[in-house]
Amino acid sequence: MLGTGFIGRFYTDSLIGYRSRDEVVSVYSRKMESSKKFADDYNVPFHTDSMEEAVDRDEVDVVCISLPNHLHEEAVNLCVKHRKGVICTKPLGRNADEALRMMRAVEEAGIFNGYLEDLVYTPKFLKAWESVKAGAIGRVLWAKSRETHPGPHSDWFWDKEIAGGGAILDLGCHCIEIGRNFIGKDIRPVEVMCWADTQVKPIDAEDHAIGLVKYESGAIGQFEVSWTFRGGLDLRDEVMGDEGTIWSNGFMRTGLEIFTSGKSGGYIAEKAESDSGWLFPVGDELNELGYNHMFMDMFNAMENGTEPRETFYDGYVVNAVMDAAYKSVKSKKWEPVALDVWRGQTGVTKHDHLTEYDSDYYLVKEEITHYGAKKLILKHKETGKIEERVGED
Ligand X SMILES: NC(=O)c1ccc[n+]([C@@H]2O[C@H](COP(=O)([O-])OP(=O)(O)OC[C@H]3O[C@@H](n4cnc5c(N)ncnc54)[C@H](O)[C@@H]3O)[C@@H](O)[C@H]2O)c1
Q: Footprint of ligand X on this chain (CB under 6 A)? A: 3-8, 29-30, 34, 66-69, 71, 89-90, 116, 118, 154, 156
Between 7 and 187, CB nearer to ligand X: 7
For residue 69, the minimal CB distance to ligand X (Å) is: 5
Between 229 and 361, CB nearer to ligand X: 229
Neighbours of 171 (CB within 10 A): 26
**Which residue of the chain is nearest ligand X when measured via CB?**
5
Between 112 and 121, CB nearer to ligand X: 121
For residue 65, the minimal CB distance to ligand X (Å) is: 8
- Contact status, residue 144 vs residue 185, Cβ threshold 8 Å: no
Between 153 and 385, CB nearer to ligand X: 153
For residue 372, the minimal CB distance to ligand X (Å) is: 52
Distances (CA, A) of 211 to 153, 194, 321, 343, 350: 24, 4, 10, 24, 21
Counting Cα atoms < 13 Å in the Cβ hemisphere of 45 gives: 6
Between 34 and 311, CB nearer to ligand X: 34
For residue 211, the minimal CB distance to ligand X (Å) is: 18
How far is the C-alpha of 84 from the C-alpha of 62, rounded, in Å? 6
- Which 3 state secondary structure label does DSSP give 70? helix
How far is the C-alpha of 78 from the C-alpha of 241, rounded, in Å? 44
Between 317 and 378, CB nearer to ligand X: 317
For residue 256, the minimal CB distance to ligand X (Å) is: 21
- Which 3 state secondary structure label does DSSP give 314? helix
- Nearest one of 340, 345, 10 to 188, comparing CA atoms: 345
Question: What kind and span of H or E run contains 250?
Answer: none
Q: Which amino acid is at 200?
A: V
- Contact status, residue 242 vs residue 139, Cβ threshold 8 Å: yes
For residue 49, the minimal CB distance to ligand X (Å) is: 9
For residue 199, the minimal CB distance to ligand X (Å) is: 21
DSSP string, 181-213: HHH-TTSPEEEEEEEEE--SSSSSS-SEEEEEE
- Contact status, residue 236 vs residue 128, Cβ threshold 8 Å: no
Between 280 and 291, CB nearer to ligand X: 291
